[in-house]
Every structure is written in C-alpha cells, then in structure tokens.
Structure 1
Amino acid sequence: MDKLRDKPVPYEIWGKEDIEPSAREQMERAAQLSVSQLGALMPDAHTGYGLPIGGVLATKDAVIPYGVGVDIACRMRMTIFNVQPYILDQKKERFRRALEENTVFGTGGELFNRVEHPVMDDPAWDELILAKKLRGEAARQLGTSGSGNHFVEFGVLKVKEEINGTDDLQGEGSRAFGKIPPGTYLALLSHSGSRHLGFELANYYTEIAMNIHADLPKEYRHLAWLDMYGAGAEYWIAMNLAGRYASANHAVIHQRVANAIGFDILGGIENHHNFAWKETHQGEELIVHRKGATPAGLGVYGVIPGTMMAPGFVVRGKGKPESLNSASHGAGRRMSRQAAYKRFEWPDVQQRLKDAGVELLSGGLDEAPGAYKDIRKVMEEQADLVEIVAEFAPRVVKMDPDKTWRRRSEAAARDKSGSKDRRDKKDKRRG
C-alpha cells in the first residue's frame, strides 16, 4: 500500500501571513499521509515535531502519537471565585504564598506529600504494562506542573456574556461548570499536562509506529501512525488514561490553591488541547488530532491563554466545519526558545511586567512576552471560529524557574547577604 498521497488533502489555514514556512511545510506533509482525510492550521501555528503546533488532522482508522504530542492532554483549567479581584491588591501576600506553597514545577517535580485521587484507581493502569510501571511516579507527580510554558496564575476575569456551564462533558476533556453572570471576578488559571506519564507513553507508542512504518521518508518519520484495529487501540487506552490523569492533575492543583485562599468557587472551564478524538466529519467517523488546538464545536467552552503578561480568553465555539471545530490554543511562538534567550534580558522583561501590573514569582526568559505572537491579532484572525465571552488578565504568575532566573535569584540573595554583612560590620565599628 502507498503510504503517501501524490497530493495533500485540502486543508484551511487561519492567519497564514504570520505562520512560519516550516510549520506550513509540516502541515503539508501531514496532509500527504495515505490515512489523512481533512486538516486545518490554526493562527498560532509554529514548527513542532511531526504535526506542527496548532495543527489539526483527521485520519481514517489510524492514530498518530506525535499528532497528539509528547505532553498528552496538555490542557487548561480555570476556576472562578465569588469575590471581586481588588482582593488581589489588598491581600497580595496571601496569593503569593498560595502559589509558592501549593504548586510544584519542573521536569521531575513531585509533591512532598502524596495526594489521594480516584484517577489512581483507574482500571486502565492494570491494562497496560508500561502504565503499570509508571503508576508510582504518576502518583507522586499528581498535582504538579511541568516546565516551559506551563503555569499557575491568579488574575482578573471580566465576563461580558453569561457562562452557562452544565457540568456535562462537551467532548472528551472539555467541561464548563457553574453559571457565571457578567461581571468582574478573581480567577485561577493553570496550564500543564500529563507529566512524565504522557511523555513516556507518547515515545513508547511512537517507537512502535516508527518500526511499523520504517519505510517512511525521514522527514515523515514523526508522522508514523498506528492502526486503530491494532496497536492504535492500545494507544487509545493509554492516551485516554493520560487525559483523565491530566484532568485530575489540574483538579488537585486548583483544590490545593483554592483551599489556601479560602474563597467560594462559582464555577470554571477546562479543556484539552493536545489530544485525539473520535468525531464525525463529512458523514464519516474520523480520528481528529488537535496538537496545540482548542476544541471549538458549537457552544463548547474553552480557554485560550495569552502570555505571562498578555490576556487570555474564555471562548465559546462556533462549530466551523472547515476548522474541524477547532481554534488556536494560545498566541503561538514567534521565535524559538534559544532565540528568546539571546534577545531578551530580565531587567527589561521585569519592567514590562511591572508596567502591566503583573508579578512574576518565577519563570523562564524563553517565556518572555515578546517571544509570542500578538494574542489579540490571533483572536481577530479566528473570529469566525470562536466567540469571546470573557477576558482574563494575569496578575500573579508562577512558572518553572529556568537557569537564568535561578542565577539572578542567587545573585540577588548574595547581594542581600553582602549588604547585611556590611551593615553588621558598620554597626560593630559604631559600637
């Protein structure tokens, strides 16, 4: 059987002029797979591995592990509190401590005290040999966040249209709960995925797919797929387990932080944006991969974040068939992480954050706001895909501290210690 088409299947692009050529080339290759049926490229798209970030691909009877990505079920969760956001300025130390003491970041990060959650009793752990091996580590990492662009933050949410949550799943992983009338609220927003569990599962099944399709050209290797009647069925169990684990992970984070601040919860929104779904398009059941794309079926709520400084948005999907009911998952990078390290300096970034009223508790220079596209322009480019129902402004932000942040913090600590020593010596001379 031919594994590549002579011509790619048709696909729509949103925000084409702001998408780098290499990302468009990746989408073109994905659309050439013999199993590909439909596709779309979101306005936040940028280069990844296999399917580009911001890529949406529908396949027939096949699933592509790298079409989902290594952070399976990377997702958003927002909790909205029944309190006015001016409390952020009145009791800022409480909010700082809530994040500092109840969140853990980093590749190998684990909670000191393991938490209990029903997801760890999911029968799927015992169905898969690899999942069974990873179960202990997954239990220790439950309630933690990764590195890079993962975050937990407080901010101001301005709701312009009622959020009418039903608490019903609007497709796997998407949910809105509670009724939130128009107004201004304190909100907690988090972004992370399935931690080391998802990473190991993704690479394990990708290796199987690559071995099955060893004859694919080199540039197509990360697009290797699994037959849904074979190894793909096992991957599907693993992916959905990682999805439930990621959802539980956010739930634990939000519960810990909410308990620390002690305000009543009105409701919230959550959604995956690295996942695959079984959906019907053009009269056929297809596997829809969204790798860095938000589900945007008609009436489906989701959260599209900006940056540590730029606003994020609560959206309601318009169900546009050409996008495969999808929208962007954020602003999208305008430059690589290495380029960001070379271009930005912490004093300049911190001044911009201060001017915007944002306090960054820790983070990475590669996540500087300037490393991302303009989120407002991205939202304009997908106005036919989603309706904005609320806008979120970050105020107190916690991310994984990179080496530049740690060096800066260590230097500040030394300076502080040195100043104290000098004052002590001066006081002794006076005595």
Structure 2
Amino acid sequence: MGNKISGKDFIKIGFPKTNKINIALGQINRYRKKEKKERILNEAKLVLANPENYQGDGTWGKLAESLINPVEIKRHELNSTRAPFTLFGENEIDEASKFQLYDALKLPISVAGALMPDAHFGYGLPIGGVLATENAVIPYGVGVDIGCRMSLSVFDLPAEFMNGKIEKLENILKDHTKFGMREVHKVKADHEVFSWSEFQEIPLVKSLLDKAYAQLGTSGGGNHFVEFGVVELMEARKDWKIEAGKYLAVLSHSGSRGLGANIAKHYTTLASKQTPLPKQVQHLAWLNLDTHDGQEYWRAMNLAGEYAKACHDDIHRRISKALGHRIVLNIENHHNFAWKEIHQGKEVIVHRKGATPAGKGILGIIPGSMTAPGFIVEGLGNEASLNSASHGAGRKFSRAKAKAKFTKSEIKQELKMHGVSLIGGNSDEAPMAYKNIHKVMKCQEDLVRVIGTFTPKVVRMDK
C-alpha cells in the first residue's frame, strides 16, 4: 500500500463521489500528510460512520460538517442600500475611507456601521471602521494584526524621576524590547496562554506554537512602539492604587505577531472560497459562525487576542524589572478584533478595525504621535458609534507619501522641539504624517470622556 492517499481510497471505504472527498483530501494534505495511510483511512471510516462524533475536530470537523449539514457556497452580491451608519469627524476623513465603509454596509450580513475621526484607507474595512454583522465574522474586518492593542503601565514614581535619567531609560528600551521580524529575547518567558486548548486542538494554531513562543514579548514593525513618558491622571478612582497627579509611565502598541498574521491569512482564504464577492469587496468575505471554519476562526482569533495581551504583559514585566520599580496601574484595550455584543436588543458581531471599545465606563488609551499627547479615556456608551472611539490620531499621509515628503533632518528637528528621544523609527512614521490628535478628540467628545494624558519622552520603534 503506497503512503499517498487518493480519492479512490476514499471511494473504496464507502465515501460518495462528491466534494466530500476533496474536503477530506484537503484537510489531510494540510495537517496529516506525514502520517501512515492505513491509520488515516481507518479514522476516515469512523468519521463516515458517525460524523456527529467529529464535529469541531481540528482535522475531521470540516468533513463531518459536509456529511451532516454541508456549507452552501454561493456568490453574493451587494445590497442596493446601506445599513444604518454614522460618521464622526466627517471633515477629517478622506473620501476613499468613506466609500470603503459604504461598500461594507451593503453586505447582506451588515446590520450597522460607524467611522471614527482617525479613519484612513485600509484593506477590506478602513482603519477606524466599525461594522456590526449578523452571525458572521469578516477576517479582514478584524485585520491582519489580530488583537493589536494599547497597554499603559504607570509606576509609583513622580514625573520628575526622568530628570537626568533619559540615557538610562533609553538603555532599558534598547536592552529589553525587541522589534520586527528577526529580534527575539535570548531568555524566553513562559505564559499561561500557551496552555490554551486551541494550541492543541486547531492544527493551524498548533503549527504556530513554536513561533508564538519565540516571539512572546516582542513588538512588530510599522507604527508599533514602546515608550517612556509622563502620565497625568486628572482624577483618582476608587479601584486605582494611585492618586491624581503626574507619574512616570510606559506605553506600548503592538499585536499578535506571526501568530495573528498567519491566522488572518488562512481564514481569509477560506472565507473568500465560501462567500465569493464582487472584486471591489472581495476582502470583505465572511465566515458564518454556524460553520466549522467560522467557529474555528472565532476560537483562533480570541487566542490571538489573548496572546497579544501576553506579549504586552511580558514587555511591561521586563521593563519594570529593569527599572527596579513596580507597576501600580495598568490600562489596556484591544483594537483589530471582533466582539459579540448586544445592540438594539439583538446580538451582533462588532468588528473594530483600528477602533477602541468605548462602552459606558470602559477605559482605554488613544495615542497621538511621538510628539503629541495620548489620552486616557472613559467610554460614554454611544450607540451611534456602536460603543466605539478612534484608536489614535490616524494617518494624514500614507507611508509612501510620508517617506517622500519628510526628511530625516526634519523629523529630528520636530523631535528635538518636543524634547523626544527616538530609538529606531523610519520616515514613514514621522510625527507630521499623523492627523492633529486634538482635532480628532474634539470630534469624539460624545464618545469618550478624557480622564488623563500621556506625553511621550523616550520612544523605541523598529529600525
């Protein structure tokens, strides 16, 4: 018996001559091709006999689904009308971003949408786009960097602690933060996220475990950063172990690294095959949450979000240890994620691609740029924004335009004028490439209440 499995092998053990054989071969070639043929075929017989026992199984779940209740694959067209939506800061948003949202609002699954004042053009949904759908998740509506997030840690140290210590803080960032595709920590850390069942039960995710372990506590390229700065807390809260005032703090922005990127790529491909769409909206293909792939993506997405949090926790732990002082307050929030929420009395899937959750009383951080303050905010729970706010200032110039427009000397001058020290960073992340954060915040006074600020002083980015 040769070791390579063919469709004829499945027909011999009783499989019908249908697409079910292609599904089985696809899963085996993807996840089990190194195993013995006899073992695989014996398992396939069991699946054929009792498919209900294999629902949700990493290898056989999709085949079991096709035997019990096959997924209907059909081309979808856009509706002629848009789902209800609201634009915040319309005058700050370019037309291309608006039309991206307008197209998304015509999807058959769309229920409502909103666009934040930091919005700019992206893939699928615009950055700053919020979309509520019915029982369906759009991988590109979440984004490639699943669970990208902000994390702010405040130390019980006065802002004046930084005086005369800039070089020390620079060295801490140089020695204890890692960026980009190649940098990893020599001394690895463990984390409880690696005990999640998804790392064993979802074959794709299992294959990414080693990469995830290696990249724990690292940051991506682009606009990801770790920076020391001054936090001003405008009020004290009962659940905080710190009074109002100015303190040393560290702020980080990064996501789920290679784990999230590979999950996004894999399930976007599956979505495009299951819900084919017109060319201009093909990045908005979705997965029905009643399907095997939809449920698997949902689990993988949530794992990636938790892994992103784990990366930030490790970054802040390392910095705290190097600094020799403990963290007394941490505020954090996801963007690039999807949540099950109740809106208008109905459960929907809310995609926030570059948008901050801003439900009533929910805390978050909205950064500005290297030379502009960020804001600690409390959500007001505005239904028109689907309980969302901007995730930053938003780009005024694309990366390509910023590279062409701003010189290194201009960037250095801008940083010097604001007393900011930069390690790494490229001209595409010039602070002048971003919108005016104060205008952006003005446009969302109905969405969040400002309770503090963060002013960057020592910034580390990818080289």
TM-score above 0.5: yes
Retained in 1: the 8 A contact 2:156–2:242?
no
Give the counterpart letter for 1:95 in structure 2: L
Q: 1:218 maps to which residue?
A: 279
Aligned amino acid, residue 10 of structure 1:
P
For residue 283 of structure 2, what is the amino acid of its counterpart?
H
Partner of 2:445: 383
Partner of 2:108: 34
- Can you give the 5+ residue segments of structure 1 that lack an aligned partner in the other structure? 166-177, 402-431
Of 256, 270, 273, 1:194 maps to 256
Residue aligning to 1:124: 198
Checking the alignment, whether the CA contact within 8 Å between 2:77 and 2:278 is kept in structure 1 is: no
Mapping of residues 300-319 of structure 1, within 5 Å? 300-319=362-381
Q: How many residues align?
A: 388
Measure how far apart 1:110 and its partner are: 2.0
Q: What is the alpha-carbon distance in structure 2 between the residues aligned to residue 362 and residue 237 of structure 1?
A: 35
1:99 is matched with which residue?
173
Q: Which residue of 1 aligns with 2:462?
A: 400
After superposing the two structures, state which structure 1 stretch, 34-43 or 81-90, moved more: 81-90
CA distance in 2 between partners of 1:109 and 1:382 (Å): 37
Q: How does 1:168-317 map to 2 (within 5 A)?
A: 178-214=240-276, 216-230=277-291, 231-317=293-379
Aligned-residue identity in percent: 52
**TM-score, normalized by length of structure 2?**
0.82
Quick check: 1:109–1:146 contact (8 Å CA) kept in 2? Answer: no
Equivalent residue, structure 2, for 1:170:
none
Q: Note if 1:340 corresponds to 2:402.
A: yes
Bigger shift: 292-301 or 110-119?
Answer: 110-119
* 1:413 aligned partner: none
- Does residue 86 of the first structure (1) align with residue 148 of the second (2)? no
Q: Is the 8 A contact 1:164 1:180 kept in 2?
A: no
Compare relative contact order (CA 8 Å, sep 6+) and give the higher one, 1 or 2: 1
Cα distance between partner residues in 2 of 1:302 and 1:18 = 22
Greater Cα offset, 85-94 or 151-160: 85-94
Following superposition, the deviation at residue 265 of structure 1 comes to: 1.8
State the one-letter code of the partner of 2:420.
V
Contact 2:275–2:287 under 8 Å retained in 1: no
Partner-residue secondary structure (3-state), 2:163: helix
Instruction: Give matches, 1:315-330, under 5 Å.
Output: 315-330=377-392
Q: Which residue of 1 aligns with 2:70?
A: none
Task: For residues 364-388 of structure 1, give each alpha carbon's deviation from its aligned partner in whole angstroms, at most 9, with x where no partner exists.
Answer: 1100011000001000000110000
Secondary structure of the corresponding residue to residue 334 of structure 1: coil
Per the alignment, residue 425 of structure 2 pairs with 363
Question: Which residue is 2:14 aligned to?
Answer: none
SS of match in other structure, 2:422: strand
Contact 1:162 1:389 survives alignment (8 Å):
no
**Cα contact 1:304–1:313 (8 A) shared by 2:** yes
Is 1:61 the counterpart of 2:132? The answer is no
1:45-101 CA-partner distances (Å, limit 9, x unpaired): 000000100000000010000000000000000000001111112222221111000
Partner residue, 1:415: none
Cα RMSD (Å): 1.1
- DSSP 3-state at the match of 1:116: coil
Question: What TM-score, normalized to structure 1?
Answer: 0.89
Deviation, 1:163, is 4.2
Q: Which runs of 5+ in 2 are unaligned?
A: 1-73
How far apart in 2 are the matches of 1:362 and 1:164?
39
Secondary structure of 1:398's counterpart equals strand
- The structure having more radius of gyration, on CA atoms, is 2
